[in-house]
Structure 1
Amino acid sequence: MATQREREILNMIRHNPMISQKELAEKLGITRPGVASHISHLIKEGLITGKGYILPDEDHVTVIGAVNMDIFGVLTQDEVQSKVSNSGIITSQIGGMGRNIAVNLTSLGIETNLITAFGSDAYGEVFKNDALKHSVNINYAQQYNDLPTSVYMYVDRKDGERIIGVDNMTINQQITPDFLQQRLPSINGSQLVIFDTNLPANSIEWLYNNVDVPLIAKAVSVNKVNRLFASTPQLDMLVINGIEASLITGKKIENAEVAREVAKVLYQKVNAPVWLYVDELGITFYDGQDSYYQTFSNLVGQNLNGVGTSIVAAVAYARINEIQPKDAIKIAVDAAVLTSKTQDNISNEIRKIIY
């Protein structure tokens, strides 16, 4: 883990890769041997890749989160009958918050590393082939012989409303602080890092304390969202849906005005810009000063499972390309609408949002 002093040295090197240890010492008011000691530690941590002050490549995004096989049913009848069979369409496809975000990012032309855990089972092989197909780098992911790949099973109404979901995601407990520490040089060599709350709470805390680049959180599940607050959040951005936001704030979001109020409350909790999306309404942005709202005028209710991850990818793309929130929110809405039009977790047409 880099100290505050070492972060200062890294910042100076980024601005002037040819700076000497003597110049660093003079600017920082410390001795040259002191600088040498810090440089040695930075090399050991992988934050500098050699004595020539070569910094790791920053032209990639790192996503840390879940991959799982989604097995879902969509009812074709209006009323749900308990304890009997209900007519519908059953589908299975590779998914997971981390995987979906990563695929959307590569579709937008952003080189992406996905740090995740998966099993040596049939679903794990499906995931590896899927990553290859979508050019997602999984060199930093870990495959386990004795654990199953995560599975998420759920049932939606005709309009896309979730009735029930059941998951077996115990493999994500393997994404520990030690697991992440081994990958720290690549993580801190990213343009930005995105994680979801499928991670254990102590791993999220580790990210807060060790990631030196912009950190974006994607809230996942009312049962897991509070992991964000196991310690004081150190975020650059939070993306969250209306259900999770209502749980945290205790406010039911029924209109755009309430959505803005909830976004402001969330901002106070995380001290970072908030992107709040509500399927029945739209997207709200708040950063402590500016507030923007864009409605979902034509969100289709076939399968809304991938909408959130498309929004994350869109706002990450906007952040990297320095697109202001008032324009980024339009891109995010377009990404959500495109994704809602397919039964897949991702849209093959998401690249249209940047044309």
Structure 2
Amino acid sequence: MDKTHDILCIGSVLWDVIGRTDRSMRVGSDVPGRIVRVPGGVAMNIAMALARLGMKPDLLTAIGRDPAGAELMEAAKVRGIGTDHVYLSEDLPTDSYMAVEGANGLIAAIADAHSLERAGDKVLRPLADGRLGTVNAPYAGPVALDGNLTTALLREIAHSPLFAKADLRIAPASPGKAERLLPLLDHPRATFYVNLEEAGLLAQTVFDSSAEAARALVDKGAHRVLVTNGGKGASLAQSGSHETDVLTQTPPEVLVARVTGAGDTFMAAHIAAEMRGADAASALTAALEAAALYVSGDTPL
């Protein structure tokens, strides 16, 4: 089996087209700014952040055999991200994402991950055919999994022997897709990374704080949960702990230059810190500091 990587990143890998302005915006605003096209998608964002932290991520995703796909594969390779196990489709185009960000945060976004959804379990073939694992010898390393996969496939993953030994790190692709992850909520080897809104959707309630949300998700059966709440703090809760044992920290204050990818950076930094042996408090601190650096615009794409 392939041993050339530290972690698998499963999910969306696509092109981000993002318009940014330093002015506050509302519906109908027409303002000057900058438009960039950069590699993106939750799995790709996590992989890029992991690579910047010295890790060796490998992608499991679907990319089209088209010019956009060829550029994306090359962009991954030059960033030190493995692409040997990517499913390359002859008939599905490379996915894309479009967002508008103002001084007051994310204004609107549209994610077109239809090719990944249509590829289905083809992206998981390396975990079953011996390249990365088999049913009898499942992959036993860390896996970052995002919610851009279909509900049916995520439900299959929740019960699949192919993931029985994996250290699952799970993130919604967006609040609109958070509920896709419900089949995985009580997975005994899963760590969830969600923001306050996503936590509320999973628990079907509204929370006032990250600590309240993290505790509630663990009470609903989650093994371990990290909940972020922008600049107001992030909390970690784990099954088997006392209700007062929720770890909460506040991120450094920074001027916000960008928001798309911040949660993925937080998740990647937390995973990398834990893989290097950091304790719970130190890993959370490292994640918050990395996310703050990212939103300030000081981290390269």
Give, in angstroms, the shift of residue 226 of structure 1.
1.0
Which letter does structure 2 place at the counterpart of 1:306?
Answer: G
Match of 1:170 among 114, 119, 122: 114
Verify the 8 A CA contact 2:7 2:141 in the aligned structure 1: yes
177-186 or 212-221, larger mean C-alpha shift:
177-186
- Structure 1 residues 232, 307: CA separation in 2 closer, same or farther (over 3 Å shift)? closer
Give, in angstroms, the shift of residue 335 of structure 1.
1.0
Which letter does structure 2 place at the counterpart of 1:243?
Answer: E
Give, in angstroms, the shift of residue 276 of structure 1.
0.7
Match of 2:26 among 80, 85, 88: 80
* RMSD (CA atoms): 2.3
Listed one character per residue, the Cα deviations across residues 112-147 of structure 1 (whole Å, up to 9, x for unaligned) are 211011112332122111111111111110122322
What TM-score do the two structures reach when normalised by structure 2?
0.86
Among all aligned residue pairs of Structure 1 and Structure 2, give the percentage whose two residues are the same amino acid. Answer: 22
Instruction: Report the equivalent of 1:191.
Output: 141
Match of 1:67 among 13, 21, 31: 13
1:303 equivalent to 2:249? Answer no
In 2: Cα distance, 1:238 partner to 1:297 partner: 22
* Partner secondary structure for residue 293 of structure 2: helix
In 2: Cα distance, 1:295 partner to 1:175 partner: 40
In 1: Cα distance, 2:221 partner to 2:34 partner: 40
Instruction: Report the equivalent of 1:9.
Output: none
Verify the 8 A CA contact 1:175 1:199 in the aligned structure 2: no
Which letter does structure 2 place at the counterpart of 1:221?
Answer: S
Matches within 5 A, 1:1-355: 57=3, 60-80=6-26, 82=28, 85-159=30-104, 161-184=105-128, 185=130, 186=132, 188-208=138-158, 209-210=160-161, 211=163, 212-230=165-183, 233-234=186-187, 235-254=189-208, 258-288=209-239, 289=241, 290-342=245-297, 347-348=299-300
What TM-score do the two structures reach when normalised by structure 1?
0.74
In 2: Cα distance, 1:100 partner to 1:147 partner: 21
If each structure's helix is expressed as a fraction of its own residues, which one has the higher value? 1
In 1: Cα distance, 2:23 partner to 2:272 partner: 39
Runs of at least 5 residues in structure 2 that lack an aligned partner in the other structure: none
Which letter does structure 1 place at the counterpart of 2:200?
Answer: S
Verify the 8 A CA contact 1:59 1:191 in the aligned structure 2: no
Which letter does structure 2 place at the counterpart of 1:172?
Answer: L
- Structure 1 residues 299, 293: CA separation in 2 closer, same or farther (over 3 Å shift)? farther
Give, in angstroms, the shift of residue 236 of structure 1.
2.4
- Structure 1 residues 244, 231: CA separation in 2 closer, same or farther (over 3 Å shift)? closer
Which letter does structure 1 place at the counterpart of 2:201?
Answer: L
| Structure 1 moving runs of 4+ over 6 Å | none
In 2: Cα distance, 1:69 partner to 1:92 partner: 7
* Partner secondary structure for residue 220 of structure 2: helix
- Structure 1 residues 147, 86: CA separation in 2 closer, same or farther (over 3 Å shift)? same
Runs of at least 5 residues in structure 1 that lack an aligned partner in the other structure: 1-48, 50-55, 350-355
- Structure 1 residues 215, 88: CA separation in 2 closer, same or farther (over 3 Å shift)? same
- Structure 1 residues 222, 305: CA separation in 2 closer, same or farther (over 3 Å shift)? same
In 2: Cα distance, 1:74 partner to 1:199 partner: 28
* Partner secondary structure for residue 223 of structure 1: helix
* Partner secondary structure for residue 175 of structure 2: coil
Verify the 8 A CA contact 2:5 2:82 in the aligned structure 1: no
- Structure 1 residues 291, 58: CA separation in 2 closer, same or farther (over 3 Å shift)? farther
Give, in angstroms, the shift of residue 268 of structure 1.
2.5
In 2: Cα distance, 1:139 partner to 1:337 partner: 32
Listed one character per residue, the Cα deviations across residues 265-317 of structure 1 (whole Å, up to 9, x for unaligned) are 11233421111111131211111323111112324311111211111112211
Verify the 8 A CA contact 2:215 2:237 in the aligned structure 1: yes
Q: How many residues align?
A: 287
Verify the 8 A CA contact 1:64 1:116 in the aligned structure 2: yes
